[in-house]
A and B are shown apart, each in its own frame.
Chain A
Amino acid sequence: MEIKVLGMGCPKCKEVGKRVDAALAELNVSADVEKVTDIKKIMAYGILATPGLVINGEVKCSGKIPKLEDIKAWIHEAAAS
């Protein structure tokens, strides 16, 4: 599973990264987590505002910090497929 956290390094983006790690730990799933900070690469995902969360190439959330429950649900969904 490939997870990318899109953000240029502000506190919100760091929080998303922390929540992703927490969600992975709680679900006992392993995944490749990458922090994308380059603006051109972030723009390529077509999101409007950071932070952004991409799982297996699909943008799951952008512009706000997703709830831990939602992150877990998306990871679970991705792991099942």
Chain B
Amino acid sequence: MKETKIFLILLAVFLTAYFVPFSQPAVQSAIVEAFLMLQEYARLHVLSCLVPAFFIAGAISVFIRKESVIRYLGPRAPRLLSYGVASVSGAILAVCSCTVLPLFAGIYARGAGIGPATVFLYSGPAINVLAIIMTAKVLGAKIGLARVIGAVGFSVAIGLLMQIIFREHDDKVRNGAEFAGEGAADRPLWKTALPIGAMVGILVFMNWAKSDPSVKAWYAVYRAKWILTAAFGAALVWMIAGWFTKDELKEWTSSTWAFAKQILPLLLGGVMLAGFLLGRPGHEGIFPSSVVAGLVGGNGLLANLFASVSGALMYFATLTEVPILQGLLGSGMGQGPALALLLAGPALSLPSMIVIGRIMGTKKTLVYIALVVVTATLAGLLFGAWTH
């Protein structure tokens, strides 16, 4: 397998080098756009946003006991609770995107059932801490919030519908043992929550945007942003010094580093790809903006549907939906279709559809895909109308 991979890479590089018309000005400027977009990310988002976000994700994945949350996704959990927990637990459980599918399989086969399982499947990738932070920072708070609300809200709707349509599944399966927890937490919850809160505080205030001075409260905070950031920073240092052992800090940094290693290469690759294909907002990439605006501009049903279906099929490595959407929005994509893509994109991809199919069977998977596309389109239409 490895040798085949090497061969394919060499072949791809050769074909690209042979056929791409590098002498054309359009191609040349697209290549420059790729680097300019990369530079923009490096200067604007990596230090102020990604690095703190990796630390937060690292802290969540190391210090928050998953067992305390997973209990509510087990076979004997009260129904109402498991739906609610499933819709937001992705923030804690799906910090590593690779856990979504196996966890979905577990909840589906041995846990709370098809309803909560599909709720988790849909909202997990969207409510991932890193995804929320990056979406809000790069694409704006409005669409960031819409993404979270849409993911949580529609995930529950999809879960309930799946449960209703496939009622017989649960009657057959829910005999599993309780999802066991292992050992009590050796740290009170607030000692974990406060440092994470401090990091979020640093992240938020560090990135507090300048606004119109007429918006009093916002502008006042902006004037004080570095003082506030420093205050949270000092609090964080004090908490780290006092509440964490050396081993814990080692685990935390190594988890943070693992996230960085896993996510940065693909993200920066995605940034360059988005820059090359679509160009930075206000600039052209290989794809002329007119094509983008024609396909997914405005807020029509077709635009939203197209965005939704493309999102469902396309594979997005963790966080790469952000620069791609940034490029699309800059090239004329409407806000509605953008949200549709944000909801359907990370939730599904051609490869993941195959895996889900092996877990749930073809029929249920097709229904799930249809529900995702429909709700994403609907969310896009609503959001597009609202932002007008």
A interface residues (Cβ-Cβ under 8 A, vs B): 7-12, 39-40, 42-43, 46-50, 63-64
Q: Which residues of A contact B99 (CB under 8 A)?
A: 10, 49-50
Contact A46 B101 (CB under 8 A): no
A9 vs B102: C-alpha distance in the bound complex, in angstroms? 11
Give per-residue flags for B84-100: 1 if the beta carbon is below 8 A from chain A beta carbons, else 0.
00000000010010110
Q: In chain B between 235 and 278, which residues have their CB closer than 8 angstroms to a CB of chain A?
A: 258, 261-262
| A43–B66 touching, CB < 8 Å | no
Nearest chain B CB to A66 CB, angstrom units: 10
Q: A39-B359, A43-B109 are in contact. Are A48 and B103 (CB under 8 A)?
A: yes
Interface size on B, residues (CB 8 A): 24
> How would residues 160 to 180 of chain B score, 1 for a CB under 8 Å from any chain A CB and 0 otherwise?
000000000000000011010
Supposing A39-B102, A46-B176 touch, asked if A11 and B262 sit within 8 A by C-beta, the answer is yes
Given the complex, which residues of A lie within 8 Å of B111, measured CB to CB?
48
A9, A12, A46: the one contacting B96 at CB < 8 Å is A12
* Chain B neighbourhood of A8, CB < 8 A: 98, 101-102
| Cross-chain contact A49 with B98 (CB below 8 angstroms) | no
CB distance from B205 to the nearest CB of A (A): 32
Inter-chain CB contacts under 8 Å: number: 54
Chain B contacts for A47, CB-based, 8 A: 106
Residues of A within 8 A of B376 (CB): none
Interface positions of B from 138 to 187, Cβ below 8 Å from A: 176-177, 179
B369 part of interface (Cβ distance < 8 Å): no
Question: Complex: how many Å from CA A43 to CA B107?
Answer: 10
Asked whether, in the complex, the Cβ of B106 is within 8 Å of the Cβ of A49, the reply is: yes
The chain B residue with its CB closest to the CB of A6 is B102
Decide: A42 and B105 in contact? CB cutoff 8 A.
yes
Q: How far is the CA of A43 from the CA of B355 in the complex (A)?
A: 12
Q: Contacts A8-B102, A50-B99 hold; do A40 and B110 have CB atoms under 8 A apart?
A: no
B262 contacts A40, CB within 8 Å?
no
Question: Quick one: closest B residue to A51, CB to CB?
Answer: B102
3 tightest Cβ-Cβ pairs between the two chains A and B: A10-B98, A48-B106, A50-B102
The minimal Cβ–Cβ distance linking B240 to chain A, given in whole angstroms, is 23
Which residue of B102, B107, B177, B258 contacts A42 across the interface (Cβ within 8 Å)?
A: B102
Question: Which residues of chain A are within 8 angstroms of B177 by Cβ–Cβ distance?
Answer: 46
Q: Is B358 an interface residue (CB 8 A)?
A: yes
Q: Which residue of A lies closest to B70 (CB)?
A: A48
Could you tell me if B110 and A46 are in contact, using CB atoms closer than 8 angstroms?
Answer: yes
* Least distance between B8 CB and chain A CB atoms (Å): 18
In Å, the complex CA distance between A39 and B176 comes to 18
CB-contact partner of A43 in B93, B179, B262, B359, under 8 A: B359
Shortest CB–CB separation between residue A23 and chain B, in angstroms? 19
State whether A48 and B101 are in contact (beta carbons under 8 Å apart), knowing that A39-B358, A39-B359, A64-B66 are contacts in the complex. no
Give 27 pairs: A residue, B residue, CB < 8 Å, sorted on A.
A7-B102, A9-B98, A10-B96, A11-B98, A11-B261, A12-B96, A12-B98, A39-B101, A39-B102, A39-B105, A39-B358, A39-B359, A40-B358, A42-B102, A43-B109, A46-B109, A46-B110, A46-B177, A47-B106, A48-B111, A49-B66, A49-B93, A49-B99, A49-B103, A50-B98, A50-B99, A63-B66
